[in-house]
Structure 1
Amino acid sequence: MTIDSHQHFWIYDEKRHAWIDDTMTDIRQNFLPSDLKPIYGANGIDGCVAVQADQTLEETDFLLKLAAANDFIKGVVGWADLRSENLSEVLGRYADQKKLKGWRHVVQDEADHNFILRPDFLSGISQLADYGHTYDILVFPHQLGAVLEFVKKFPDQKFVIDHIAKPYIKDGFYDGWALLMREIGKHENVYCKLSGMITEADHGTWTSGQLRPYMDLVLEAFGSHRLMFGSDWPVCLLAGSYDRMKKAVDDFVSTLGDDEQKRIMGENAIAFYDL
């Protein structure tokens, strides 16, 4: 099966989705399963993981409702306040939701570079394994030092780095990001998504060749057994069509063996999220 490990749905609201700024007019609209299903049909995608785009429990419930009504949505990564004193109660409330696979916080927007090392956040992360839940790490490269310390604290927790940690592809910055990704990749409980790359490149002029060094690095750091394809639809539409984004990844994995291709394009997501 081919699995898109990272995409979003929303009913656009200017306040709720304030992160969609004035430069992102193309995605200031609703994006729902009925919009995505034909795109998947055209690109041979069998299922997906829907990931939160709004930091409310209502968002989690919204995605679970969509997943219940659409079989191709195989899993949901929701949001809960992992710093909350009543987190165990919240996690218990979702314990019987079979399609709820994990959680994410938009750490990239936190002003404190060490946000994920705060004691209250660490306490929340420590509770996830009891429910078999994963955690998606969404950060910028300047936050990777904290991420390295973070993953060391939880060797038995399943983590995945979203969007290869958003390297500054447009500016050609590489070395600092690469150094830390190699170190993080030494931790076998950490996976990485081949997603979100084209929006970190120049939206109008990017080429697959510009993405290649970054994909080569994460393949080296994480291996084909811990990489997973993700589209970041509809955000990817800011920089190109779904077809063109997927072709960049397809071309990259085409140089690998059949088993490695199957792992990256679906099997790793199925295993990681227990789809």
Structure 2
Amino acid sequence: MIIDSHQHFWKYDSERHAWIDDDMSDIRRDFLPYHLKEVYDENGIDGCVAVQADQTLEETDFLLGLAHENDFIKGVVGWADLRDKNVEETLEKYSSRQKLKGWRHIVQGEADANFLLRSDFIRGISYLEKYDYTYDILVFPHQLGAVLEFVKRFPNQKFVIDHIAKPYIKDGYYEGWALLMEAIAKYENVFCKVSGMITEADYNTWTPLELQPYLEHVFEIFGSERVMFGSDWPVCLVAGEYKDVKKLVRDFISGLNSHDQDMIMGENAVAFYRL
């Protein structure tokens, strides 16, 4: 079974999706399940986890609605304001929605490099374990110092780092990212998605060879049992086709045994998100 651990749906709106800049104009349109189902049929993908792209509860409800209507959407990572003093009421409200697996905040968009360590946010995170919710960590490399302190505080909370923490591949940035990722990977409750890599390189000229050092490091520090394949569709389309993203990971892990490959391409996502 192949599970795509990270993809998005949206009905395009220029204000809500203002992060889609001119360089990404190709994805300024709707992306809905019937678009993705066709892609999955072509690429042999069995299911996915739909991840929030807009920071509203309406987004969470939108994704849950799509998951209810489409069996191949196995789980949803939604958004709620974890800083809200009444956040536990929200978490309780959604606890009956079986396909709601976890939460994410777009921390990469926060000006405060230590956003994750704010007391109100920490308080919200502290409730997640009670409901067996996961948390997706979306950050840039300059926020990894805060991530390290953050995961230390919650040894029993299931975390996953999205897009290998978005290293600035286009600029050749590696050492600082690599050191902090290694320190974070020592915490065994932290997983990592090999996703979103081709859009951190040059959209037009990236090569698998350019991405290899980053993949090698992620697999060395997390191991096959804590890495999961993700496409970041449709964002990936600004730099390549779905088949390119899948092939990048498949080719890299081709030398591993079949059990390890199965974990990376699906089983780890099933276990992490309880799909």
Q: Same fold (TM over 0.5)?
A: yes
The answer on 1:244 being equivalent to 2:239 is: no
**Higher deviation after alignment, 203-212 or 58-67:** 203-212
Deviation at 1:24, TM superposition (A): 1.3
Unpaired segments of 5 or more residues in structure 2? none
Q: Take 2:202 and 2:16, find their aligned partners in 1: how far apart are those partners?
A: 27
**Higher deviation after alignment, 86-95 or 28-37:** 86-95
Q: For each residue in 1:201-256, what CA deviation from the matched residue of structure 2 results, as whole angstroms up to 9, or x when unmatched?
A: 01101011111110000001110000000000000001000011111111011111
Q: For each residue in 1:32-66, what CA deviation from the matched residue of structure 2 results, as whole angstroms up to 9, or x when unmatched?
A: 00000011011110000000000000000000000
Deviation at 1:144, TM superposition (A): 0.2
The answer on 1:106 being equivalent to 2:106 is: yes
Structure 1 counterpart SS, 2:224: coil
Structure 2 counterpart SS, 1:91: helix
Q: Take 1:80 and 1:22, find their aligned partners in 2: how far apart are those partners?
A: 28
Structure 1 counterpart SS, 2:225: coil
Counterpart for residue 209 of structure 2: 209
The answer on 1:151 being equivalent to 2:151 is: yes
Q: For each residue in 1:175-205, what CA deviation from the matched residue of structure 2 results, as whole angstroms up to 9, or x when unmatched?
A: 0000000000000000000000000001101
Unpaired segments of 5 or more residues in structure 1? none
Deviation at 1:20, TM superposition (A): 1.0
Structure 1 counterpart SS, 2:40: helix
Counterpart for residue 34 of structure 1: 34
TM-score, normalised on structure 1? Answer: 0.99
Counterpart for residue 53 of structure 2: 53
Q: Take 2:97 and 2:221, find their aligned partners in 1: how far apart are those partners?
A: 33
Q: For each residue in 1:102-153, what CA deviation from the matched residue of structure 2 results, as whole angstroms up to 9, or x when unmatched?
A: 0000000100000000000000000001111000000000000000000000
Deviation at 1:81, TM superposition (A): 0.2
Deviation at 1:23, TM superposition (A): 1.8
Q: Take 1:74 and 1:253, find their aligned partners in 2: how far apart are those partners?
A: 24
Counterpart for residue 97 of structure 2: 97
Q: Take 2:94 and 2:245, find their aligned partners in 1: how far apart are those partners?
A: 33
Deviation at 1:257, TM superposition (A): 1.0
Q: Take 1:245 and 1:6, find their aligned partners in 2: how far apart are those partners?
A: 12
Letter in 2 for 1:132: D
Percent of pairs with identical residues: 71
Deviation at 1:92, TM superposition (A): 1.1
Counterpart for residue 262 of structure 2: 262
Letter in 2 for 1:91: L
Letter in 1 for 2:117: L
Q: How do 1:1-275 and structure 2 match up within 5 A?
A: 1-275=1-275
TM-score, normalised on structure 2? Answer: 0.99
Q: Take 2:185 and 2:220, find their aligned partners in 1: how far apart are those partners?
A: 9
Deviation at 1:19, TM superposition (A): 1.0
User: How many residues are matched?
Assistant: 275
**Higher deviation after alignment, 96-105 or 240-249:** 240-249
Deviation at 1:258, TM superposition (A): 0.8
Q: Take 2:55 and 2:173, find their aligned partners in 1: how far apart are those partners?
A: 30
Letter in 2 for 1:56: T
Q: Take 2:209 and 2:246, find their aligned partners in 1: how far apart are those partners?
A: 14
Deviation at 1:16, TM superposition (A): 1.0
Q: Take 2:256 and 2:163, find their aligned partners in 1: how far apart are those partners?
A: 21
Structure 2 counterpart SS, 1:24: helix
Deviation at 1:171, TM superposition (A): 1.0
Structure 2 counterpart SS, 1:200: coil
Q: For each residue in 1:251-274, what CA deviation from the matched residue of structure 2 results, as whole angstroms up to 9, or x when unmatched?
A: 011111111100000000000000
